[in-house]
A and B are shown apart, each in its own frame.
Chain A
Amino acid sequence: MSVINITDLEKIYRTEEVETVALNKISFEIKEGEFVAIMGPSGCGKSTLLNILGLLDDLDGGSFKFNDIEVSDFNERKRADMRKHNIGFVFQSFNLIDELTVFENVELPLIYTGIATAERKKMVDKVLDKIQIAHRRNHYPQQLSGGQQQRVAVARAVVNKPKLILADEPTGNLDSRNGNDVMQLLTDLNEQGTTIIMVTRSEHDSRYTHRVINMLDGQIVTQNIKV
């Protein structure tokens, strides 16, 4: 079963004078349980692609099926709904909310999906245990190291048990040791069945994945399937 199936996906940025084709008729499929890396130089369109896959941005042409449902014509409301139940996000710059504690940051997606307080506490505690940061649950993001912050961000991404995790250069702001920790965490999650798509520029990180999609100038150059 495919989590994502896109055909002839197009994304064009228009300003008054210039029209830039960011994604030029891209097609690919991602199956459940896959761990895929998207690679390519700056400006090749990989982040744009990730935003569209994450239902954060809309497309200008082609078809996009998420869980076999056509989502290209979804409005903001429907997309938000789809997002909160199915997709977790991990960012290069962590994007934790400074005013909330570790616990509260992880709890946030559960609040938006409307889960009851007691149940939320249980779920958050469980996931914090799993990433071994439970002892820091009442700290604020600024009080944590980068690696710890990214682990919290991963925890937040998975607390809702999403089908798909989208990671945008998750190790980009980390040193290699912390980076490895985070990659190991993602690998573990993948082994437990979560589909992961990761944008990266690091050859090293891409080795953790099953497959690398190489992009250049808005097009897919190779889809290298490793065994």
Chain B
Amino acid sequence: MFKNYIKIAWRNLWKNKLFSFINIFGLAIGISCCILIFLYVQNELSYDTFNEKADRIYRITSKIHQPKKIVWFAPTSPITGERLRQNFPEIKKIVRFNFTKRPISYNNKKFSEATVLYSDSTLFDVFTLPMVSGNPAKALIAPYSIVLTETAVKRYFGDEPAMGKLMKFSDTLNLLVTGIIKDIPKNSHFKCDCIISRNTMADINKGNSDWLEEREKNWFNCDSYSYILLADHVEGKTLEAKANKFLDKEMTETKKAIGMWINVDLQPIKDIHLRSHLDQEIKGAEQGGDITYVYIFSATAILILLIACCNFINLSTARSLNRSKEIGLRKVIGAMRSQLIFQFLGESVVFSLIACILSLIFVLLAIPFFNLFIGTTLTLTLNVFWIYLSLICCIGFLAGLYPALLMSSFSPIQSLKGKINHGLADIFFRKGLVVFQFSIAIILIIGTTLILNQLDFIQNKKLGINKEQVVGIELKGVDQRKGEILLKELSKNPKITGATLNNFNFKGIGYITLLPEGAAENELTACSVFSVDENFLNIMQIELVSGRDFSKNFPTDVNEAFIVNEAAVKAYGWKTPKDALGKKIEWAFGKKGKVIGVVKDFNYASLHNRIEPLLIHIYPSWYNTVTLRLKTDNLTTTMKEIETAWKNSGTENPFKYAFLEDDFNSLYKSEQNMRAVLGAFTFLSVLVACLGLFGLAAFTIKQRFKEIGIRKVLGASVSGVVGLLSKDFLKLVFVSIIISSPIAWYAAHKWLQDFAYKVDISWWIFLVSGAMALLIAFTTVCFQALRAASANPVKSLRTE
């Protein structure tokens, strides 16, 4: 019996090639999207799960309470972690990370490491990082110990043995290789190839008692990423509450004195990748994930699959007329309804099986592109087999059930005569499916257009800082004096219109806690800060609204002058930018000075955020970039000349540069990814929906062949007939537009909430998207309608 079903299914499939192609191709696309997204989601969810104790590892993040607001940092101060460990036996281990950019070299082989990690010796107790050689219990205990990954060993030592060798750190210090670990997995939220014992940091600064006081004992010096391993069966939330009670007590005095205190938030390590968007997040090689995109992508993939299923349902029911004879006959011969239902379900399973095989090819072809766009490293895993299996069953059932129920319900006498009248409910249901398909397609069209619009808006927004033709040369780890030599050298180049030393970066600048004039003693507040030289404002074309720029003519500018932005003026309660001039600003730790100028607010960070108070000052030891404004012509030669100057300056560090424009755009990487994926999805959904419409139109028009003949005999024109046939379908698309517009508006509105600066959702987007959908649908139907309308009427009348 089963063989018979398969046989019929297979032969039917061959007999109706258009129908089969539309169904299988559509389903294959839907399935491919689902598989790709499944791989993506699986990868996103797998972050940090390689740690055997992942369920017990938490990160201590700090909520710094200030008089008027709370700032939430991913790292915390070393002392916070240490005190908690001492007082809570639930914390089995703590490991603290700091990152540095100091260069590492071996035998004059120097590479620019993205990050070098300082870590406590407890690293291997908390994280699962298998050691290839060395003793994990001892490797990071002594200062000046370094543990390398296998990749780093290859890079520095080639095939030489690395264990026990000495490497150079910051050109002058020696590091002893005490361990080699396997590369840190790609799905780890932190990545690095070189790990140095954390006490090295203290040892380097051992002459500097201020440093120890400042770094290790200050509650608010939040720069250490601290991970704790909890004892079995300890709830993170319970401990968190206890820890905060403890911290409140511990900081009563501080709170009174400066109005600030710290609370902690224990973050499960598995949540960091997708759910943590804190200030000062670890900057890995790639951007952190976002659970919103996981949801959006998953939903879209499933919707495309649903569109494909709708095609199957619609075409199968439309086609049931052609199969009525078979159904009737089977019933006459004695088939039970259940047997027929089983047969039709079997057919849809066969279809989805073939679609799955086809989709396997699609997925294999698509993975490289997907990886390229999203920046992932997905591969096809065996797990996919189970997904395929369940998809085959799900789709087979989902798509096959309605046609099976409908077709098996035909009366044998009617169906033998070929007189199946689809009931009103059935016709309504099928029209509903078309409306559903097009609504999804239109929502996606609107969504993609809007994202495009917003990204365009961001890229072209006047930031208040001119980012065009500006390149930053990285000075990290370069001697300060060499940086100045380089600056002088480059300033002479006629292709460079300006050069400035600074540590400005769109991707993130520092914070400082300060006390502005007029605030109470205990009203310290956090403020963004970066340091510049006297040329910065001029070269970056940042507008001053009052006061003056830094100047070499005022030697005191180096130590006691600040420039603030308008947002700061407002936040500190100073009346006007003019009024702000001469106001005193005192850092919580260190520098004191007066405001000498106020700049117009400019976007110094992502447009996701409003412009916050900003402090600009001169502070040469912070400089990590020399920023150049270039003339537009001949960029390649200019860059080559810069590189030569770099080499001539005597630094051995690799030449690294980035255009400000690219840095800025990289802030919207996840939005750009989303645009790429959503764009592709939109195209596919429209394609699949149109295929369905094409098939449906073909069948419907076939059924009206005689009517068309009669109309033509009576004098109808081709265009009249095309209009008549298209009208029914266009009506459905029109209904889709009306249904989908408010949904799309709501979704777009939600998405835009994430941006402080956003485009208006304008009516033309809906109009254009709707018109596009109508046009696409019309073209699809038109093709069929034209063919039917231009056929010889005698022929169509004879088919009866």
Contact = CB atoms under 8 A, between A and B. Distances in A.
Instruction: Tell whether A and B belong to one assembly.
Output: yes
Contacts of B331: 56, 80
B15 A109 contact: no
A91 B415 CA distance: 13
A100 B337 CA distance: 20
Given A99-B326, A104-B7, A112 B333 contact: yes
B339 A97 contact: no
B15 A99 contact: yes
10 contacts: A51-B413, A56-B331, A57-B413, A80-B334, A81-B334, A81-B336, A99-B15, A108-B4, A109-B334, A114-B1
A117 B492 CA distance: 94
A56 B413 contact: yes
Interface in A44-68: 51, 54, 56-57
A104 B4 contact: yes
Given A108-B333, A113-B334, A91 B416 contact: yes
Interface string B383-424: 000000000000000000000000000011100100000000
A85 B4 CA distance: 20
Q: Which interface class (under 10, 10 to 19, 20 to 34, 35 or more) fits B?
A: 20 to 34
Interface string B326-344: 1011111111110100000
Interface string A92-103: 000101111000
Nearest to B329: A95
Interface in A74-88: 76-77, 80-81, 83-85
A89 interface: yes
Contacts of B336: 77, 80-81
A115 to B, nearest CB: 10
B12 interface: yes
Contacts of B337: 76-77
Interface in B1-25: 1, 4, 7-8, 11-12, 15
Contacts of B333: 83-84, 89, 108-109, 112, 156
Contacts of A104: 4, 7
B711 interface: no
Nearest to A81: B334
B325 interface: yes
B203 to A, nearest CB: 84
A76 B335 CA distance: 10
Contact of B12 (A76, A89, A99, A111): A99
A57 B412 CA distance: 9
A98 B14 CA distance: 13
Nearest to B335: A112
Contacts of B15: 98-99
Given A91-B416, A97-B8, 17 more contacts: A51-B413, A56-B331, A83-B332, A83-B334, A95-B332, A98-B15, A99-B8, A99-B11, A99-B12, A100-B7, A104-B7, A107-B4, A108-B330, A108-B333, A109-B333, A111-B4, A112-B334
Contacts of A84: 333-335
A91 to B, nearest CB: 7
Among B1, B328, B334, B337, residue most surrounded by chain A Cβ atoms (within 10 Å):
B334
Nearest to B331: A80
Contact of A89 (B8, B332, B335, B411): B332
B1 A111 contact: yes
Nearest to A57: B413
Contacts of B11: 99-100
Interface of B: 1, 4, 7-8, 11-12, 15, 325-326, 328-337, 339, 411-413, 416
Minimum-distance CB pairs A-B, first 10: A84-B334, A99-B11, A109-B333, A83-B334, A112-B334, A97-B326, A95-B329, A111-B1, A56-B412, A80-B334
Interface of A: 51, 54, 56-57, 76-77, 80-81, 83-85, 89, 91, 95, 97-100, 104, 107-109, 111-114, 156
Nearest to B325: A95
Contacts of A98: 15, 326
A108 B332 CA distance: 11
A105 B328 CA distance: 14
Contacts of B412: 56
Nearest to B336: A80
A69 to B, nearest CB: 17
B4 A95 contact: no
A30 B103 CA distance: 106
Nearest to A166: B332
Contacts of B335: 80, 84, 112
B201 to A, nearest CB: 78
A57 B337 CA distance: 15
Contacts of A95: 325, 328-329, 332, 416
Contacts of B330: 108, 112
A107 B329 CA distance: 13
Contacts of A54: 332
A221 to B, nearest CB: 24
A111 B335 CA distance: 9
A114 B329 CA distance: 17
Contacts of B416: 91, 95
B413 A112 contact: no
A56 B331 CA distance: 9
Nearest to B326: A97
B335 to A, nearest CB: 5
Contacts of A85: 334
A86 to B, nearest CB: 9
Nearest to B322: A98
Contact of A97 (B329, B411, B413): B329
Among A85, A104, A112, residue most surrounded by chain B Cβ atoms (within 10 Å):
A112
A89 to B, nearest CB: 5
A117 to B, nearest CB: 9
Contacts of B8: 97, 99-100
A163 B411 CA distance: 24
B296 to A, nearest CB: 44
A114 B334 CA distance: 11
A43 B337 CA distance: 30
Contacts of A57: 411, 413
B337 to A, nearest CB: 7
Contacts of B7: 99-100, 104
Contacts of A113: 334
Contacts of A77: 336-337
A118 to B, nearest CB: 14
Among A76, A80, A107, residue most surrounded by chain B Cβ atoms (within 10 Å):
A80
A141 to B, nearest CB: 11
A100 B412 CA distance: 19
A113 B336 CA distance: 11
B26 to A, nearest CB: 23
Among A51, A77, A111, A113, residue most surrounded by chain B Cβ atoms (within 10 Å):
A111
Nearest to A76: B337
Contacts of B329: 95, 97
Nearest to A83: B334
Contacts of B334: 80-81, 83-85, 109, 112-113
A112 B339 contact: yes
B323 to A, nearest CB: 9
A91 B328 CA distance: 12
Contacts of A81: 334, 336
Nearest to B11: A99
Contacts of A76: 337
Contacts of A80: 331, 334-336
